[in-house]
């Protein structure tokens, strides 16, 4: 190995060194790469609870219980809009909904889709958007869910968060605006 050859190799190592240094500096400047190994959900617990408060939805406890107040669970069979009932939101946008929300819309006195599945007892955010020229009132037929209702004007979207029933089965719902149910504005929530 001649000294001359060793000298010739030197610039190559300098280039590798400079590139490596530049990469380290780039990654260090990108704090997301260094400090956040996983991409954060846009709905971290804190940000979603904040969104709930802003949009008027009921809070959910760490154990997944929908709350009427700081200490009291909401009751699905309370009088609609009473202090014990799950709260319907103010008018909201789709971007206000959690990723796992169930979104229905109305179109010509139909719910689309007109069926959805939820897990026993799970906290569910159900949203309804009017995409036609009239208001609608989504209500369940069963008395046990009489507080779970969404009423909206034409063009609005609102939501409600509630705990799904603890009893498996099919729970029918309908639109309570005069004549809408008779024209087929009905649906089914499947609890399993
Ligand atoms: Cu309707």
pLDDT level of residue 148 (50, 70, 90 thresholds): very high
Across 62-66, 74-78, 94-98, least confident range: 94-98
What percent of the chain is modeled with pLDDT above 70?
A: 81
Residue 32 has pLDDT above 60, yes or no: no
pLDDT at 38: 39
If you measure from the C-alpha of residue 164 to the centroid of ligand 1, how many angstroms do you get, rounded to a whole number? 23
In Å, what is the CA distance from 44 to each residue of 128, 134, 172?
23, 35, 32
Mean per-residue pLDDT, 161-170: 97
pLDDT at 171: 98
The residue that leads in pLDDT, 47 or 141, is 141
In Å, what is the CA distance from 95 to each residue of 48, 99, 100, 137?
11, 9, 12, 22
Residue 56 has pLDDT above 50, yes or no: yes
Across 36-50, 59-73, 115-129, 134-148, least confident range: 36-50
If you measure from the C-alpha of residue 48 to the centroid of ligand 1, how many angstroms do you get, rounded to a whole number? 29
pLDDT at 161: 95
* Per-chain residues with Cβ under 5 A from ion ligand 1: 136, 175, 177, 180, 185
How many residues are there in the chain?
192
Average pLDDT in the chain: 85
If you measure from the C-alpha of residue 112 to the centroid of ligand 1, how many angstroms do you get, rounded to a whole number? 12
Token pair 């709905």 is at which residue? 43
Mean per-residue pLDDT, 132-147: 96
If you measure from the C-alpha of residue 187 to the centroid of ligand 1, how many angstroms do you get, rounded to a whole number? 11
pLDDT at 167: 97
The token duo for 81 is 């809009």
Strand intervals (E) in 58-156:
102-106, 111-112, 115-118, 123-130, 136-140, 149-152
Residue 51 has pLDDT above 80, yes or no: no
Burial group, residue 124, by CB count within 10 angstroms (0-12, 13-18, 19+): buried
137: Cα within 13 Å, side-chain hemisphere = 9
Q: Which CATH architecture has domain 45-191?
A: Sandwich (2.60)
The token duo for 58 is 């009921």
Strand intervals (E) in 31-176:
102-106, 111-112, 115-118, 123-130, 136-140, 149-152, 157-163, 169-175
Mean per-residue pLDDT, 55-59: 89
pTM of the model: 0.75
Token pair 């955010």 is at which residue? 125
Mean per-residue pLDDT, 152-176: 97
Whole-number Å distance between alpha carbons of 32 and 76: 42
The H or E element containing residue 191 is strand 186-191
If you measure from the C-alpha of residue 97 to the centroid of ligand 1, how many angstroms do you get, rounded to a whole number? 22
What percent of the chain is modeled with pLDDT above 90?
A: 62
pLDDT at 43: 55
If you measure from the C-alpha of residue 25 to the centroid of ligand 1, how many angstroms do you get, rounded to a whole number? 59
Residue 164 has pLDDT above 50, yes or no: yes
């Amino acid at each position: 190995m001649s000294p001359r050859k060793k000298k010739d190799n030197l610039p190559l190592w300098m280039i590798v060194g400079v590139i490596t240094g530049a990469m380290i500096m780039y990654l260090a400047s990108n704090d997301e790469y260094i400090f956040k190994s996983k991409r954060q959900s846009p709905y971290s617990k804190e940000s979603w609870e904040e969104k709930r408060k802003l949009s008027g939805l009921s809070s959910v406890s760490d154990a997944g219980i929908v709350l009427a107040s700081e200490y009291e669970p909401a009751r699905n069979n309370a009088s609609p809009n009473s202090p014990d009932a799950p709260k319907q939101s103010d008018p909201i946008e789709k971007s206000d909904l959690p990723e796992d929300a169930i979104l229905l819309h109305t179109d010509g006195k139909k719910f689309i889709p007109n069926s959805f599945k939820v897990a026993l007892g799970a906290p569910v955010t159900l949203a309804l958007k009017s995409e036609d020229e009239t208001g609608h009132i989504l209500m369940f037929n069963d008395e046990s869910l009489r507080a779970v209702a969404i009423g909206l004007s034409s063009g609005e979207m609102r939501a409600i968060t509630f705990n799904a029933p603890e009893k498996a089965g099919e729970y029918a719902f309908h639109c309570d605006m005069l004549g809408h149910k008779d024209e087929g504005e009905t649906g089914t929530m499947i609890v399993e």
